[in-house]
Structure 1
Amino acid sequence: MAKLEGKVAFVTGGASGIGAASAAALAREGAAVVVSDLDGVRAEVLAETLAGAGALAMALTQDVTDETGWAKAVEAVEQRFGRLDIMVANAGVAVMGLVTEMTLAAWRRQTAINLDGVFLSAKYAIPAMRRAGSGSIIIMSSVAAFRGSAAFSGYCASKAGAHIFAKALALECAGIGDKVRVNSIHPGVIDTPLWDTIPLGNAGQQPRRIDANRMGHNDVPMGRAGTADEVAEAVVFLASDASSFMTGAELVLDGGMTAGAMPRKK
């Protein structure tokens, strides 16, 4: 039997990268999947692909920083599928730039998506999960929550905030006894489209592309970048009863980056 049969999962930033891989993996395990993304066209394409493979799926065009849309989004999911069991707060953005050169607008945009969006995901998912009887909230953080990275200070700050928010929220839910679990995932260098267009925080500068595979080879002890599918397997684990005694925890998927440094042959 599929691990998530009868469950309903909501994935923000679900149209590409880790979000798309997570949506596909959740659907494979029997969950009905809501593909939420600012790019509604791509979200619709993925939802149709999943439905064509036999899954229950729907698409939502959504800006995760817009609170007015959240209540409507969750209401639409409950009307369509009758419940909400899993929230994957995955939508995120990385902005590159030195602190002295980054605009306040760029800082705030990144924080709004990476931190405010996570807060709103949880705020509106938890009441629906309580109505369903239980739930799993999975917050997509990063190894940047544990270690600094020059020119990515805003990204590190937002992901560290999401990490400790997950722990505090896990305690909140456990204390209430609502059977809602909250955990975070911390990917390292993962080969996704995120790296193709890293926006710069300096006004008027063009986005920069970073070669994730080269970075994986140079910086990851295992010698390669990870894949979105590998992260999606962790999402399935935290969404399922296999992790029923886990809350307030983190799963680190970084090929050994946070373990320390090691010399490696070219």
Structure 2
Amino acid sequence: MNTTPLWRRVVAEGIGTGLLVTVVVGSGIAAARLSPDDAGLQLLENAFATALGLAVLILMLGPVSGAHFNPVVSGVDWWIGRRAGTGLTGRDLGAYVPAQLVGAVLGAVLANLMYGGAAVSWSTTDRSSGALWLGEVVATAGLIMVVFALAASGRATLAPAAVGAYVGSAYWFTSSTSFANPAVTIGRAFSDTFAGIAPASLSGFVVAQILGAAVGLGLLTLLYPKAGRAADEVVTRRIDIPASDGVFK
């Protein structure tokens, strides 16, 4: 059971999710400006920056909060750990998710401002189709499997590289370019750029992500029936962070 104060973990989740969206949106803006006539190269640049940025954020903030940065990851962590007394509590989940959502929005605002745009510019990129929703189901189910299989098999130390690699590759093998994260999806609606998604498309993506999380949970239960015992290791093992006086608070 993690004893790092909840407020500290919540701050880490907000910062981490925000910076993840800044990486996604900022690299998307840069890619569109650097390679304006080559959509494939834009996607490559965006995916490469996102994969590396996510790995670094997990390494930096994982010891504090577990580096979920994703409401569906937090939700599954609570669900599988509740019987074993591991992972997030209901109170933790109720604090993590709002922090992730607020962080995501602020991350998009930061990216917009860094590139000289308006703080908020609603995306006009429509992403509404059955094929894209199916891509989100696949992307999210795969992410849940990667994250929780590593924890269940005692290989959580590989999460920064493995999760970053999965997200980077899923940009290419899924039709939706693998948002796989409700908070990041909502944040991306606040930027009318290469990485954006129109507000009208949000509901379809979020529903697909929740369905994908359920599929991933089902596969996890089938293949790793004792995964709940390792819920404290998701995404990376959280540790107690001492106060400046050396006393854990």
Point out the structure with the larger strand share. 1
Q: What TM-score, normalized to structure 2?
A: 0.27
Larger relative contact order (Cα-Cα within 8 Å, sequence gap ≥ 6): 2
